[in-house]
Chains A and B, each alone.
Chain A
């Protein structure tokens, strides 16, 4: 457990987000960051089906602002290309703030060089769209990380 992480207030800020209607099977909080409403909706449904609590951000700045306001997420799915603040910039800012959550880059871009740059910004992994249940489930942390 990172001391920096424990110093960040672990308040699950749900500003503008909806909780699972079934109350969630787990206390696993995920942030979906993507400028596409369609993509956010699909990702939300995929993750909600796993019992995760999902919050959305339309761009990197919203994601950073959530953390500035004390939000904590177990897992963050970060789109690469977004207006206002893109994925790599947001990732760098979050890491500079001391955010230790797993950040998974999600991109439509197939160039390996783009993936490499995004990873170097501070991602744990980078995957190509579309996200599938199998892919999402593979990012469940093992018990050591809890």
Chain B
């Protein structure tokens, strides 16, 4: 098997894994298709922007939850923003944690919020690492003279 075929196989397997494990959903696939038809760097760019936003929101939520009197409305508004952006890029696990997180905010459950925040942080790190692996594989394909395969 030549290098390109090997790499394509790896990407297909890894993409299937990301979907199967719920890291990403069909919305992510749709964005990848857009990349194929228009700006090639679009997915990397929007994902980078997402993680920058994620980091800011997580820090803001952490600060808010450290206060003696927690402003749950403020925390909720940060969760709401993360919920919207995560669903827009297809970051399914992060989106699902945000749903639970919102419930904790509505219940004014500080401990629940802290647990959800830890989970959001964990999922962000996992997804970032996984997508970096995916993008690295794509770069290897391009370096080997191939083109990025569209998801079947």
**Given the known A-B contacts A38-B89, A81-B77, A108-B83, are A45 and B49 also in contact in the complex, defined by CB atoms under 8 Å?**
no
Question: In chain B, what residue has the closest Cβ to A41?
Answer: B46
- Any chain A CB within 8 A of the CB of B97? no
16 contacts between A and B (CB under 8 A): A36-B85, A38-B49, A38-B85, A38-B88, A38-B89, A41-B45, A41-B49, A45-B34, A45-B38, A46-B30, A46-B34, A49-B34, A49-B38, A108-B80, A109-B80, A129-B88
Instruction: Contact check, B81 vs A133: say whether CB atoms are below 8 A apart.
Output: no
User: Shortest distance in angstroms between B3's beta carbon and chain A's nearest beta carbon?
Assistant: 31
Chain B residues at the A interface, C-beta cutoff of 8 Å: 27, 30-31, 34, 37-39, 42, 45-46, 49-50, 53, 77, 80-81, 83-85, 87-90
Q: Which residues of B contact A35 (CB under 8 A)?
A: 81
Query: How many Å lie between the Cα of A46 and that of B42 in the bound state?
Result: 11
Chain A residues at the B interface, C-beta cutoff of 8 Å: 34-39, 41-43, 45-46, 48-49, 79, 81, 108-109, 129-133
Q: Which residues of B contact A37 (CB under 8 A)?
A: 49, 53
User: Shortest distance in angstroms between B71's beta carbon and chain A's nearest beta carbon?
Assistant: 15
Instruction: Contact check, A48 vs B38: say whether CB atoms are below 8 A apart.
Output: yes
Instruction: Contact check, A38 vs B53: say whether CB atoms are below 8 A apart.
Output: yes
Q: Which residues of B contact A130 (CB under 8 A)?
A: 27, 87-88, 90
Question: In chain B, what residue has the closest Cβ to A43?
Answer: B88
Instruction: Contact check, A36 vs B30: say whether CB atoms are below 8 A apart.
Output: no
